[in-house]
Amino acid sequence: MSSPHPGDGPTPPPDSTQPLPPSPYVPYDAVGSPQHDPSWSQQAPHPEQAPQYPTHPQGSAYAMPSTPPSSRRRGPGWAGAGAMTLAAALIAGAVGGIGGGLVAGGGDEGEGPSIVQRDGSPAERPDGSTAAIAAKAVPSVVTIRVSGGGGSGTGSGWVYDDKGHIVTNNHVVEAAGEDGKVRIELTDGSRRDAKIVGRDSAYDLAVLEVDPQGLDNMPIGSSDDVVVGDDVVAVGSPLGLGSSVTSGIVSALERPVSAGEAGDESFISAIQTDAAINPGNSGGPLLNGDGDVVGVNTAIAQVPGQQQTSGSIGVGFAIPSDVVVRTVDQLITSGTAEHPIIGVSLDRRWQGQGAKVLDEDEVQGGDAVIPDGPADNAGIEPGDVITEMDGRRVTDLDQLIVRIRAQAVGDKVTLTVQRGQQEKELTMTLEAAEEN
């Protein structure tokens, strides 16, 4: 896959691909979809100019800031009223809880209900329980408040290291632009000004820097160790309600997710979870049973046909921690992140198994296989169909793209290709896309 921006990759003729359908992974408050240039075939994504890659019949949406930017996205009309309704419900619940506590006191022995006393402090919970995980994690999860020319809103983030770096989603802070304001709010209600260190729309990640005094960084686990069925906990600020904790399981792995507006999409081989994730959860951590970060919550599903997302329907997506660590370290070091490519143009019209490289005569002003690129050096030719990557089946071009993007620049991958009646196994080294 090449990086599809001017001068860096081939541009097929307008009739070489079908018009791209709207991506099912769009900002949660977007209505309709932007127009796309049908001349672009499927290529390696680039944050400045990339086609949309629909991957699933159901829609998905960013778990956007609870008050979305006004200039680029339409805010949901229910957000403010919904937040007030929730606040009223919380107050009513608190009053009811106090009354209930008084009633449940019981009388002398034998005259009332038996009271089972826990050993130790009432606040203690077994290791690995959701309560124990939450107690350790919540102080290191922050609410992010953004205002700027692109609008205002809230999202989530978490403490990455002892230098005051905070990890969040790019779409949480992008509304700040060049001159906007970003602040974090801690669990005690105090706020600190934050500086954007770097952000990357292709992986939908951003790094902030704040005064590190009193902050505890979160332990990070390897997403490669995660399996379907693992218990997970999500922490964040849905609808601006800070320090909210939800739990569930890992529902699926390597779910191809592309989300965002035209030219500003992210491409994720995502962890799918049924832990409730709502607008405002974006950027918050997804934790395993040991309380380690294994993902960054970034998107939620949208029921097909709905114009805007009303909340969690039990299908949320997180960026795997292995990708997060690699990207965040690059953002801290240089302010930018590398994006691996293989240097081919893929055919979205292809209906068969795998991902098909365009034939040479379908490309105008470029090449189906970039000369001296990773694919060319490995022996891939125009018209080849990539059917496997590292011994695992490739079902379509979307899956191939997110698998490539989950790798690091310099990694070696093995591709199985079908060329006519022959099957070949080729090894290539991934290279970095040339960024504008």
- Run of H or E residues at 296: strand 293-302
Name the nearest CA neighbour of 434 among 66, 5, 111, 72.
Answer: 5
Q: Any idea what DSSP says for residue 38? A: T
What are 197's two structure tokens? 């260190």
Instruction: Give the active site residue among 152, 201, 223, 282.
Output: 282
Calpha distance 209→223 (Å, rounded): 24
Tokens of 380: 């891939």
Q: 5, 46, 165, 171: which one is catalytic?
A: 171
Dihedral angle computed from the Cα positions of residues 26, 29, 32 and 36, in that order, rounded to the nearest 10 degrees: -40
> What b/e sequence results for 183-216 when a residue is b if at least 16 CB atoms lie within 10 Å of its CB, and e otherwise?
bbbbeeeeebebebbbbbbbbbbbbbbbebeebe
Q: Is 129 exposed, middle or buried (0-12, 13-18, 19+ CB in 10 A)?
A: middle
Q: Which residues, including other chains, have CB under 8 Å from residue 45's CB and lie 6 or more apart?
A: 1, 3, 4, 51, 53, 202, 258, 265, 267, 339, 401, 405
Which residue do the tokens 């009303």 mark? Answer: 310
Which residues make Cβ contacts (< 8 Å) with residue 19, sequence separation at least 6? 36, 38
Of 8, 29, 200, 204, the catalytic one is 204
Active-site residue 204, yes or no?
yes
Q: Is 36 one of the catalytic residues?
A: no
Q: Known catalytic residues?
A: 171, 204, 282
